[in-house]
Structure 1
Amino acid sequence: MAEQYFTADPTCESKQVPCSFVYRGHGLNFMTDAGVFSKGELDTGTRLLLDALPDVYGDVLDLGCGWGAIGVAVKKKYPAAHVTMVDVNRRALELCRFNAVRNGITAECLESDGMAEVMERTFDFIITNPPIRASKPVIYRMFADAASRLNPGGVLYLVIRKQQGAESCMKYLKTLYAKVDKVDKSGGFWVLRATEPLKKENEAQEEAADAHV
């Protein structure tokens, strides 16, 4: 069985392949590798996701960053943004750090199982091409964690292939966020935007209790 790209320590032989693309007027050059998602090319879903983003600002999280396409592209175009990139795959993170330097940007690259290592922080943008093959519970946990870590006015952007559960994903997001929209639907993918996280009952009770202290 082929090794999955969400493995923490890929054991497959390293086979590095360069990749280049242009994002909003900026030429970007990357190194990719076996054992990391989308070796040798910018995948269609990530391209659609990047193209759908508005002007990005503030604290930005590239969740499941792979070799760094989203985080590096966003930071290059919007240098004032503070970009953090996280992934469970150590080979991906090595590439991510290399690609940040290669493209002349500064960003944090952290080893993290989902959002585990950034749950004490909040973000204005959380952007992800989630690891669908890691299982529905894994990616749904990522979406729920994102809902709890957005700043007021913050937004989650994600892309998912229609045939890999885009409709059920959107239905689940609506249990977490007051507003969930399709911002693009092309090439067999849906790009979704989720804003205004819903407070869970226990969170509302805790806030009410704090208010009476």
Structure 2
Amino acid sequence: MSEQYFTNQPTSEHKYAKFETEILGNTIVFHTDSGVFSKGGLDFGTRTLLEAVPPLHGRILDLGCGWGAVGVSVGKKYPETVIVMSDVNERAMELAKKNLKENNVTNACVIKSDAMDDVDGTFDFILNNPPIRAGKAVIYKMFDQASERLNKGGALYVVIRKQQGAPSAKAHLQEKFDHVEVIAKEKSYWIIECKKEAE
């Protein structure tokens, strides 16, 4: 059985790769490896997520950052923000740190955390491409923790494929947030915006 990308310490043989992509108006170089999600390049779902979210500000969490596609791209686009990138996969975390350095992104940090268990503070925005293969319990834990750690007026943005549970995920999110809306649909990918009312 192949190793899953949400494993804490992947043991698969390293197969390093490097690629360049245009995203959010910048050319970004990424390093990837075996044992991480989408090691071959920027996946369609993550690109769709990045292109769908409105302008960002304040404190941002890249929840389940992998090798850093979201955090690096957002950090490069919005250098005035403060970004926290979290993941449970140590190999992915090292790649995320390398990708921040490669692209001179200095407004972000990478921490190890199972969902948001070891993430401190609250956020204005949380972006999440959930680890579908980890199962619904893990994903919904991420959603529930995000709802508790968003600032008033903040938003969670999630990308999920329709056939991988987008309708049921939306229903769950509607129980936790004040406003939930699908703001984009590309191929089978839904971008779901979940907002907390500002006081």
Interval of TM-score (by shorter of Structure 1 and Structure 2)? over 0.9
Contact kept in structure 1, 2:62 and 2:126, CA below 8 Å: yes
Matches within 5 A, 1:10-159: 10-106=10-106, 107-118=108-119, 120-159=120-159
- Superposed CA offset, 1:38-59 (max 9, x none): 0021101001000001111100
Report the alpha carbon displacement of residue 72 of structure 1 after superposing the two structures with TM. Answer: 0.3
Contact kept in structure 1, 2:23 and 2:47, CA below 8 Å: no
* Amino acid in structure 2 at the alignment position of 1:116: D
Contact kept in structure 2, 1:19 and 1:42, CA below 8 Å: no
Contact kept in structure 2, 1:18 and 1:30, CA below 8 Å: yes
Following TM superposition, the consecutive aligned residue runs of length 4 or more in structure 1 with deviations greater than 4 angstroms are: none
Q: Percent identity?
A: 51
Unaligned runs of 5+ residues in structure 1 are: 198-213
What is the CA–CA distance in structure 1 between the aligned matches of 2:65 and 2:71, rounded to whole Å? Answer: 7
Pick the structure with greater CA Rg.
1
What TM-score does the superposition give when structure 2 sets the normalisation length? 0.97
Report the alpha carbon displacement of residue 182 of structure 1 after superposing the two structures with TM. Answer: 0.3
Corresponding residue SS for 1:71? helix
Unaligned runs of 5+ residues in structure 2 are: none
Corresponding residue SS for 1:117? coil
* Amino acid in structure 1 at the alignment position of 2:139: I
Corresponding residue for 2:186? Answer: 186
RMSD of Structure 2 on Structure 1 (CA) = 0.8
- Superposed CA offset, 1:61-92 (max 9, x none): 00000000000000100000001100000000
